[in-house]
Structure 1
Amino acid sequence: MKAFQIVAPRETSLRDVPVPSPGPSDVLVEVAAAGVCHSDLHLAHARALPYELPLTLGHELAGRVVAVGDAVTDRTVGEQVVVYLCWGCGECRACLGGAENYCLAHHDDSVPGPGMGRHGGMADYAVVPARHAVPLGDLDPVAAAPLADAALTPYHAVDRARPHLGEGSTALVIGVGGLGNLAVQILAATTGARVLAVDTDRSRLELAATHGAHEALVSSEDTAADVAELTAGLGVDVVLDFVGAQATLDLAAAAVTTGGRISISGLAAGRLPLLAGPPPYGLPWGVSVVKPYAGSRADLEAVLDLAHAGAIQVPVEVHALPDAAAVLERLEAGLVQGRAVLVPDRP
């Protein structure tokens, strides 16, 4: 079979590899589609990786179960599934409480999963622990594959901020690319919040406006003042930062209101200005700062429910698996609208 792999630091290749065999508790998934994410770029460009190589990329995958291990009783051959992102230990208190995305066996690193420590979905087939293969029902697996991260991550961030997002509240979404666009949709579908969207890309802002953003702001040195004006000087109740750069974190600190929440999902290595002093020199009183990661299995099931109801959708552009390297280049150049997905070539 074909698999797009990191074969050495900063070196990727589409390779011929054997079709893997599922273990007793695994299923073999015939991949229908694998989403392409900025995390794949980070891994492909990394000078050093903590993973055994070669490693098949692709942490957003969906497809059809074609074989099951001897101990598997809850998945069946022919079933369409999407793969849950976080493969925790299943035994620590976090995992037993349903929060495998915060597995304590990996407290000093990201929880491994497909394409991130385990072979992923940019391949013809993938072996997946059966408990992480979530039924898709009648959803199109090509359209649904990006839900595994592009919708899961913002859903989790929104859900953790839900106490701040009642009627009359305001949420600021910074960065409305793949994840941020879904955050706008999830806010519109599940909260009563007024949604402000910020990005440097006008086309992304236009798309966010069609998906529920009430105001779309082109990022500039005046954005904090614009947010203040739109909120009568109060600021926003929730900031969802899907960039994490210094400029976006500065904006988050300037925009949040008293008792609000800053949620940082972006990984651009900025630093939140957190001066231990009273306002106006530090953050407003009562502000909480959280750093959510991915989401729980229950979050993924809630995402699938929203997709079944037609409340959210991922704009996708479809490419053949052999074009994976070129698609990563498109993503790096900012040419992908929504989410790119790779589809294996099959007769």
Structure 2
Amino acid sequence: MSPHSCGHCIWCARGQDNNCDDSIVGRGYGIDGGLARYVLVATTRELVKLNTLDPVVAGPLTDAGATSYHAVKRTLPRIPPGGTAVVIGAGGLGAYAIQHLLALTSARVVAVDVSTDRLAYATELGAHDVLEGVNDDTTTELHRLLGGGANAVFDFVGIDQTITHGLQSTGKAGAYALVGAGNGSLRGTMFDKLPRDGEVFSFQAPTIADTLEVIALAESGKLRVDVDIFPLDRVAEAYEKMERGELRGRAVVIPD
């Protein structure tokens, strides 16, 4: 699993191994990947033992499942019983975030996306409401639905538009989690755009503990994991389908 961590720095000692000073992780670069028959790991810290879970199902959980879980877990103190949460981008990570929110909270979950197919999928997974598009109209409708801003907003896109409307959708004392790496920016003054008495955070990767907890959730039947399987010689096709948004869940590449 990713990221690599040393196991002995102050961050690792605190259980925040995703912040390890020796970490090698990035947006599509870093240590060697898994598109190979065999993968060399530096330490058994980077391995997760499975009990009943199929490795094909477990694969997406170590990245998309655990990353979205880390975001949801960070916001739990901000979401009261019967609270509200918004997931912007109901694709791979967002689909898991919806399930984590339903498993860990009693929040009303709203999924926001530009794709009607992904919104239909979000409804299948249990989202209480769905909104198509990210614009002034959907933000207004969101406030009407929830009676104000949400306790937590998760942005799995991270472009200018989703950052702007994500923050506008975050209520007082709420949390805005910027997870998507869309290289977006927030324009204008910060003071009136950030949630009052709330928090805004981002991060690079989940912790080892996050991954273990997500695997446990899946092994107990609390997570639905949809995968599209590709042999190693069709990996280019998997990337093309991902770019076109044609994957229902996550692509898993299986060496012959």
What TM-score does the superposition give when structure 2 sets the normalisation length?
A: 0.94
Q: Distance in 2 between matches of 1:174 and 1:166?
A: 20
**1:149 paired residue among 56, 63, 70:** 63
- Displacement, 1:238? 0.4
Q: More displaced, 172-181 or 323-332? A: 323-332
Greater strand share, structure number: 1
User: What is the match of residue 202 of structure 2?
Assistant: 291
Check 1:248–1:124 CA distance in 2 against 1; reply closer, same or farther (3 A cut): same
Residues paired across the two proteins, number: 253
The DSSP-based 3-state class of the residue aligned with 2:48 is strand
Alignment match, 2:236: 325
Which range moved further: 124-133 or 146-155?
124-133
In structure 2, the residue matched to 1:230 is 145
**Structure with the largest fraction of helix:** 2
- CA drift of 1:220 comes to 4.3
Q: Give, in angstroms, the shift of residue 166 of structure 1.
A: 2.5
Distance in 2, Cα, partners of 1:317 & 1:116: 23
Q: State which of 215, 218, 226 in structure 2 corresponds to 1:307.
A: 218
Report the Cα distance in structure 1 between the residues aligned to 2:141 and 2:195, rounded to whole angstroms: 18
- For 1:125, the equivalent position in structure 2 comes to 38
Q: Is contact 1:101–1:296 with CA below 8 Å preserved after alignment?
A: yes
Residue 82 of structure 2 corresponds to residue 171 of structure 1: no
DSSP-derived class of the 1:336 partner: coil
Q: SS at 2:101's partner residue?
A: helix
Alignment of 1:52-63 (within 5 A): none
User: How far apart, CA to CA, are the structure 2 residues paired with 1:189 and 1:241?
Assistant: 19
Q: Tell me, in whole angstroms, the C-alpha distance in 1 between the residues paired with 2:172 and 2:52.
A: 44
Distance 1:244 1:103 in 2: 24
Matches of 1:154 and 1:118, distance apart in 2: 22
Q: What SS does the aligned partner of 2:4 have? A: coil
2:124 is aligned with 1:218: no
Q: What pairs up with 1:5-44 in 2 under 5 angstroms?
A: none
- 4+ residue runs of structure 1 moved beyond 4 angstroms? none
Question: Within 2, Cα distance between the matches of 1:225 and 1:273?
Answer: 20
| Alpha carbons 1:238, 1:260 under 8 Å: kept | yes
The answer to whether 1:112 aligns with 2:13 is: no
Structure 1-normalised TM-score? 0.70
Aligned to 1:16: none
Give distance in 1, aligned partners of 2:195 and 2:74: 20
Q: Partners in 2 of 1:330 and 1:276 — Cα distance?
A: 38
Q: Distance in 2 between matches of 1:180 and 1:289?
A: 18
2:200 maps to a residue whose letter is V
Match of 2:246?
335
RMSD (Å), alpha carbons: 1.6
Separation in structure 2 between the aligned mates of residue 286 and residue 215 of structure 1, nearest angstrom: 26
> Residue 153 of structure 1 contacts residue 179 of structure 1 at CA under 8 Å; is this kept in 2?
yes
Per-residue displacement from partner, 1:104-139 (whole Å, max 9, x unpaired)? 235xxxx339x8422221111111221211101110
After TM superposition, give the deviation of residue 183 of structure 1 in Å.
0.3
- Say if 1:209 and 1:215, in contact at 8 Å, map to a contact too: yes
Q: CA deviation at 1:310?
A: 0.8
Gaps of at least 5 residues in structure 1 are: 1-83
CA contact (8 A) 1:316 1:341 kept: yes
Partner of 1:316: 227
Is residue 251 from structure 1 mapped to residue 165 from structure 2 by the alignment?
A: yes
- Does residue 1 of structure 2 align to residue 87 of structure 1? no
Identity %: 39
8 A contact 1:100–1:296 mirrored in 2? yes
